[in-house]
Structure 1
């Protein structure tokens, strides 16, 4: 793979974490000095990172709360959203600790920056479950999807969408971590395991803020640099970034849109897939993830170890042997919408197929 022709940083996000998968049976973490393990209820705090994606409000939060209620009728749940700001999330952790939460489920904004907050919770006897993204510090459990597999199925879909017309097709990479950086993640490694040597990452952009506007700016710069006819594919970290990229391509009057891949199965992304604007999204069944997090939270809240729930262990920048549940993602394209997000009850056909999309939905076999 050639080095990129041009690199434009929207916001450099330092990634200081390597995730190491290990088999069960690794050295256990030290026990958390549990603050409360009564027979009654306890409080679980949910901390989400941003409001760019709709998943937290529509799926993760409600599903976790529902499962906790099923497992522990006397338990209560409080939640907060940091709206993409690290300082805000730190304050939210502090507030929850002061208000006496007994377990924290943390989907962090930035891993290294939340390390002291995780340590503060541990010192207070409050176990922390890292949710969706692994945080640094002494976390007591981790619930997410197999990040390597997410990258791999994104890469596979991108190649299918490009049709493998010729070796060396040029793609634009829009991510919080770019391949040429000194750091990597399992997702990036998974994508590169498929794409390396088969495509040219002609432009790569760091979208540290993970919002649609910055993605739009980056994609616009890529189109200017390469020329609108020379973008053969787009690897986007998630569906929010994919939306910005597609908007930029359309604004540049690219009529035959190149395949664009993302992740999270946002409703808007599924609708773009129906319209033929986005090729694929990596669907991560929210119910399975939320249920695992709730089970782990209730176990820790009762003073139990989560090893019966976890299937493996991971390590972060500071700790090893963290009990983990790593679920498998599912690719969603136009041909598989009905058998994935519709079948699982994430969206109804009515939600997806608005009147303006009726014809496209008929072509996709949804109507």
Structure 2
């Protein structure tokens, strides 16, 4: 009996010890789990592969800054390839792997709210990157002033039409908007409408492009050319991928002269089109400081530091500390002073722009 009592007491003590240990290691909802900031895992979730900047700029800039700040930290990376369900699975995988911070650029701003909620319920802070997640479960938001982007685009188009004395009578503008599931697209659209609606120019038609799909955008523009023909005097495109699709439609229909088309993101192909005279303008968003700031915030959060935001953005009834970076309109006359000066496409920026566009570059003093 004495031996039995000893064994029972020993087992009870062991159970208490195990229970205490489990409590120490359990994640309390809303509180960050203990991590070694020197070896933390940082998750970066990007939305699609259609937009060239994500693989060519955002990811490498983020990775380089993370390595500089925390050489032993591990980057977990995934691209949703334009699939909200896939992004959800990628986020769940990262949480299962013990990620310490999630940097989330949502493909679908509404659907990604569940990712943010899941992360924070497990004590994992979330940085909404470039596109705003429609959720109160965010620690930071970093992007650009996206309404201003739309305004700059529309202002450039309206000014061009006025300078060319176009857009009169039954002539007007096509609006090729971004994805209806992307909060940024709604901000671009809002900013553009504020300018176009007051401009006096007729809005012939507009289209919200599902998933930013250039094929769908091109099909729509082709249909509008069939319907409106020479009445189309300019096209607002929400980004450079859609601008490229619109220009492809105009060329396929032998529209001449090419109508002014505006985009944004300062993609390499867009800059080349601008120098060649096919695209009128784009908006330059310095992605390197955006990506680097996101990496800096992620590293700070692993150390349980919470830097103060530069502004507050209200989402889902909550004010989120935010950083909104400035943007610059780019036309042929300031390519040299923007993307070339900043080596936006890497150390061989000029070569990348000019190899197949030597005469256009020479005309604008680039090279």
TM-score category by the smaller chain? 0.7 to 0.9
Name the residue aligned to 2:350.
349
Displacement of 1:221? 0.8
Structure 1 consecutive aligned stretches of length 4 or more whose deviation exceeds 6 Å:
none
The alignment's TM-score, normalised by the length of structure 1, stands at 0.86
The alignment's TM-score, normalised by the length of structure 2, stands at 0.86
Contact 1:141 1:306 in 2 (8 A): no
Name the residue aligned to 1:365.
365
Q: Secondary structure of 2:112's partner?
A: helix
Separation in structure 2 between the aligned mates of residue 45 and residue 261 of structure 1, nearest angstrom: 34
Name the residue aligned to 2:176.
174
Name the residue aligned to 2:287.
286
Contact 1:162 1:258 in 2 (8 A): no
Name the residue aligned to 1:315.
314
The alignment of Structure 1 onto Structure 2 pairs a total of residues equal to 328
Name the residue aligned to 1:231.
232
1:299 aligns to 2:300 (yes or no): yes
Determine which of 94, 103, 110 is the counterpart of 1:96.
Answer: 94
Separation in structure 2 between the aligned mates of residue 129 and residue 319 of structure 1, nearest angstrom: 17
Separation in structure 1 between the aligned mates of residue 110 and residue 295 of structure 2, nearest angstrom: 25
Displacement of 1:42? 0.4
Name the residue aligned to 2:40.
42
Displacement of 1:47? 0.4
Separation in structure 1 between the aligned mates of residue 41 and residue 35 of structure 2, nearest angstrom: 11
Name the residue aligned to 1:21.
none
Q: Secondary structure of 2:90's partner?
A: helix
Name the residue aligned to 2:148.
149
Separation in structure 2 between the aligned mates of residue 97 and residue 319 of structure 1, nearest angstrom: 26
Displacement of 1:166? 5.1
Q: Deviations over 1:117-166 (max 9, x none)?
A: 11000011111111110002211110100011101110111123223515
Q: How does 1:206-225 map to 2 (within 5 A)?
A: 206-225=208-227
Structure with larger Rg? 2
Name the residue aligned to 2:26.
none
Displacement of 1:354? 1.9
Question: Alpha carbon RMSD of aligned pairs, Å?
Answer: 1.8
Structure number with greater CO (CA < 8 Å, separation at least 6) is 1
Contact 2:177 2:209 in 1 (8 A): yes
Q: Secondary structure of 1:77's partner?
A: strand
Q: How does 1:248-263 map to 2 (within 5 A)?
A: 248-263=249-264
Contact 2:285 2:328 in 1 (8 A): yes
Separation in structure 2 between the aligned mates of residue 163 and residue 197 of structure 1, nearest angstrom: 14
1:139 aligns to 2:138 (yes or no): yes
Name the residue aligned to 1:337.
335
Displacement of 1:79? 0.6
Displacement of 1:32? 4.3
